[in-house]
Structure 1
């Protein structure tokens, strides 16, 4: 995709959405009558991975620690140690419904039934599904058909749709929107994912359909198989060139600036950066994964200058191997004896206990790190799982898709600025040494998805819930407010207060445990 001057776009959005006090009094003063849906699309795409508030709360604080990829700092405690925080659980809802949901619903409305915006409308419909999927996967039943319609239709207390109905509509929308896309029609402007590439958007729609089909393997395997087959037949990703990603600018995000990578900003704003969870490290160690030395590095932190951290990996690794934090520990809990280290400038120092706990490498958390919305690696690993579950051959055997998925996941790292290019021989050896084992195929496939989805905590969390892999031991401490790993987010208090009747219906549908973060969404039953 092209790199756009995001600051200019954001300024444009601000200007267009401003309300002119001299406008005709018959025009709704809360809603622009001529807002360009292309700019709304741009804004929604940028905020999805650029919004600091959302990405800090749902990725860094909750989902990445929940699936035991990172941990150890105060901000990780909510997900790592299951410490209840209603404000954090509400963050996605509170910051999406009144912004991104409203924008994308409006963009679909404004571009519909307009022959000059046919492709734009189709892209917005796909983006709308993608936006709502994140919401329903985390919360369960949510406002969907009536959401975002306060301005256009005056609906201020939207009903909650059942997740099953929402998913059925996802499949219909993705199918229809992909069919609507036509390269002979309008050029899609402002698209931050594919720069208006119609063929790429078709593949993205079909690949999303595959992802959401596989969500249903527990609750409705027949529907899952049928939708997955239809998605594959329509044309999914076939190489890393198809990856859906957004390139962020090399700026440090704030809570009002979405140009940089929001998750990166969340990582580097801490005086102490998150450490890697030993559960995650063990997967790399047991399989002799060639990505290990690239992902995990030992650094001496420099407060407020995260990218000036001093890399001491080689010396520490030689003495203690790879060591992160235990699932139950803060970084300061396990105190290790100081190590004698010589810095690159020749200065001899003592590496402290904190210095001896690995962190994610700089290239993963750069301000301009891309955010991978969906990858070829994920598609191939999902197809590998489908092959095992249903004894099908959709373009290859399970072993072939599995190998393709691992290779793609290794090679996609080179798409990061300063990211590594792993040698083909090393990847080949890794694949040969980690073949599928009869009876354990689904576990092995989804452990690789666990790795491939690093830096996309919500998807890693969703995939863990739908498959149960990797098998995680709850990280219980004296601070934990539950004894099991949470499986959803709770509805916000303000929604319960302002939309009480509809919320009560949704809570009743959740079953005996009600609106708790240990309850399960429909497809996770």
Structure 2
């Protein structure tokens, strides 16, 4: 009898599988679809991480901009970005972890039951698109031509690269449409870890970023730059540090400040202060820049010494114990990521006023406000004595933007190329190339999408770090 039972058992099981196959193969703990707000949360976090990270596999711009110098490894300080495939990490983090998540969110929102109300859906889509515009800005100002019109098409494994200037102009149109689409007050709420879903703040951010985009192309297309800047200014841009686009990291992993992860949790001593920045801070027309005390620690040859701010020469591998270190303000678990701040906006307004793009306050007034706001952000005290010795001039404007962009190396690099000042390329001893004015395409692109890679490389003038991109019209001074 037993053998008959065992013989019938497979038939019983087969019937059960046929009847409940779908239920048995469905994980009850997984959402059938991902709620769109969670994708936006993740995209914001990944975007901030990409801009904030100090990991040399992901973000090397503090080294390029001679804010920091390396100790253990030295390749990146010498503009060798190929050994670690750094360009692949940057490309992947923006395309895969940020832009793709935002694209998925925009596709899901219209039918997402967790997003209630047409106004909320419209606002959420607009915010996601603003973040996409922001992300593409860094791609085209870093690489040049990139996949755009055919990006994220699952049916096309070999997307073409669109012209960077054409992409840029389309991004401006998208930004205008996004601002027009924002209305009311309801949106992502706490799922938005930058502004908490505050629609008014997102409008001001979009206008301020539009101002930034306008000034970035001032040398490329002055007419478009002027109309873009004036429209953004008239619509309302940042006026205070309370407007800053900030992502506050958490005390518990995995949502901690990436710099804490890279410098403290890892137990690594890979960076010290760079002499280029430290020397500027030590002697800003006869005065010590108070921000030095926030940026770096004092170096003491002996414990009883008063200490000085001392930086290592750019490109020269440094002994960690012999120089100033990264200040503790940056290395706490909750130190924020910063996507755009008022000091930067005020410096753009100063330049715009000097060029006649906007009217009202004179350039010097915006410049002074920019310095004051930078001091306030870094809690560096009264800026009046400093401004008295460092008044407005075009050169001082470029220097102050560079200093204010401390810890925001990617933005500092864009501005250094655009303004051709301060001159940072001369002191990089033993560099692999001239000062890099773009990053090469990832080697994966050459291998997987060779025809479009070759076309894009030829279109921009060669896939090398010395090819100037469309907005960078002037050669770096020698």
- Residues 130-183 of structure 1, C-alpha deviation per residue, up to 9 Å, x if partnerless? 122122221111111222232xxx222222111111111111111111111112
Corresponding residue number in structure 2 for 1:85:
82
- Give the superposition deviation at 1:32: 8.0
- Residues 358-397 of structure 1, C-alpha deviation per residue, up to 9 Å, x if partnerless? 112111122211011100110001100111122742x421
Provide the C-alpha distance between the structure 1 equivalents of 2:375 and 2:138, rounded to a whole number of angstroms. 25
Kept in 2: contact 1:80–1:475 (CA 8 A):
no
Corresponding residue number in structure 2 for 1:63:
61
Say if 1:143 and 1:50 are closer, same or farther in 2 by CA, change over 3 A. Answer: same
- Residues 254-300 of structure 1, C-alpha deviation per residue, up to 9 Å, x if partnerless? xxx4x11223322333532411111101211222212122322136x
Corresponding residue number in structure 1 for 2:3:
none
Kept in 2: contact 1:328–1:477 (CA 8 A):
yes
**Which of 297, 322, 326 pairs up with 2:309?**
322
Corresponding residue number in structure 2 for 1:389:
355
Corresponding residue number in structure 1 for 2:10:
none
- Give the superposition deviation at 1:112: 5.5
Say if 1:433 and 1:194 are closer, same or farther in 2 by CA, change over 3 A. Answer: same
Kept in 1: contact 2:129–2:178 (CA 8 A):
yes
Provide the C-alpha distance between the structure 1 equivalents of 2:446 and 2:194, rounded to a whole number of angstroms. 35
Say if 1:369 and 1:297 are closer, same or farther in 2 by CA, change over 3 A. Answer: same
* Counterpart secondary structure, 1:359: coil
- Give the superposition deviation at 1:110: 2.6
Kept in 2: contact 1:90–1:492 (CA 8 A):
yes
Matches within 5 A, 1:333-344: none
- Residues 193-241 of structure 1, C-alpha deviation per residue, up to 9 Å, x if partnerless? 0001000000000111111111112211221111111111111101111
**Which of 257, 261, 272 pairs up with 1:261?**
257
Provide the C-alpha distance between the structure 2 equivalents of 1:508 and 1:49, rounded to a whole number of angstroms. 32
Corresponding residue number in structure 2 for 1:132:
136
**Which of 363, 384, 387 pairs up with 2:329?**
363
- Give the superposition deviation at 1:453: 1.1
Kept in 2: contact 1:102–1:147 (CA 8 A):
no
Provide the C-alpha distance between the structure 2 equivalents of 1:184 and 1:328, rounded to a whole number of angstroms. 50
Given the alignment of the two structures, is residue 331 of structure 1 paired with residue 318 of structure 2, yes or no?
yes
Corresponding residue number in structure 1 for 2:468:
520
TM-score normalized by structure 2? 0.85
Q: RMSD of aligned C-alpha atoms?
A: 2.7
TM-score normalized by structure 1? 0.78
Corresponding residue number in structure 1 for 2:45:
46
- Residues 329-355 of structure 1, C-alpha deviation per residue, up to 9 Å, x if partnerless? 1113xxxxxxxxxxxxxxxxxxxxx43
| Matched length | 439
Corresponding residue number in structure 1 for 2:272:
275
| Unaligned runs of at least 5 residues, structure 2 | 1-20, 112-116, 474-478
Deviates more, 1:102-111 or 1:189-198: 102-111
Provide the C-alpha distance between the structure 1 equivalents of 2:464 and 2:383, rounded to a whole number of angstroms. 43
**Which of 408, 417, 422 pairs up with 2:380?**
422
